[in-house]
Amino acid sequence: MDERIADLFGIAAGQRMTYEEALEYFQSKLALSPREFFRLRARYRALAFTVSGYASATVLKQFQDTLTKAIEDGTTLEQFRADMNDWLKERGYRGATPYQAENVFRTNLQTAYNVGAYRQMRSPAVLRDRPYWMYDAVEDSHTRKSHLAMNGRVFPADSPVWDTWYPPNGFRCRCSVISLTGAQVRRMGLKVETQVPQRVDIGSGFISVRPDRGFGYNAATVAYEPDLDGFPESIKTAYERREREDREKSPV
């Protein structure tokens, strides 16, 4: 791994940065039909996986398995779409469009990698040395203005801001978070803030600074609890179905 990137994230060079954590997070997701998924409150969607246009549990599982392989092997978007469309067409389903494939691929992988980074950056040793986090948006013509307004803003790692603004903050969002030492903050002349401004002037007018609709939560902080009481019925049913399938697959 590139030492400069490793240093930015506060991870030792040579470590498989976020891969194990990303994989664990993504494999724990439960496949739900789009109808079930979008009926969930936003925070519970972090526990689930779906693909718009496909309701079959078998198809959704194949999408999830193919994305899991992408995390494990570093599959490209083009290969992901080709593999999925071959599988779909062989079984009589329509293939995913380029836009749909990119949305599924980028949103899910970005979420998984950001969750992996979050779990590593929250480790006590990293937090002790790198107690500040900086929001990092890709500065190009595709970057949403509200995300760009967050670019370069620094908050303490334990700030409640990250409960709302930890990326991804929208479909196909490419934003990430970089951990920093106190010395880096001072050397770069960065200001440590305590809250996100409601509106900012971007030159052509004021815009509201908020995540995209349905993304104002931190996927890394939503996890299963030992007792599923209080969870949505669709989540409990999907969890029980997967537990049953896993038992059936296990050797007697």
Q: What is the pLDDT of residue 246?
A: 73
63 φ/ψ sector (left φ>0, alpha ψ -120 to 50, else beta): alpha
Q: What is the pLDDT of residue 251?
A: 61
Per-residue pLDDT of the chain (252 residues; tens, 9 = 90+): 334 333 443 333 334 445 788 898 999 899 999 999 999 888 788 889 999 999 998 999 999 999 999 988 888 999 999 999 999 999 999 999 999 999 999 999 999 999 999 999 999 999 999 999 999 998 888 899 999 999 999 999 999 999 999 999 999 999 999 999 999 999 999 999 999 999 988 777 888 999 999 898 999 987 666 566 777 888 888 888 888 877 777 665
Q: What is the pLDDT of residue 250?
A: 65
Q: What is the pLDDT of residue 243?
A: 80
Rounded Cα gap, residues 105 and 112, in angstroms: 11
Q: What is the pLDDT of residue 242?
A: 80
Rounded Cα gap, residues 159 and 108, in angstroms: 25
Sign of CA dihedral 139, 145, 146, 150: positive
DSSP string, 113-158: HHHHHHHHHTSHHHHHH--EEEEE---STTS-HHHHTTTT-EEETT
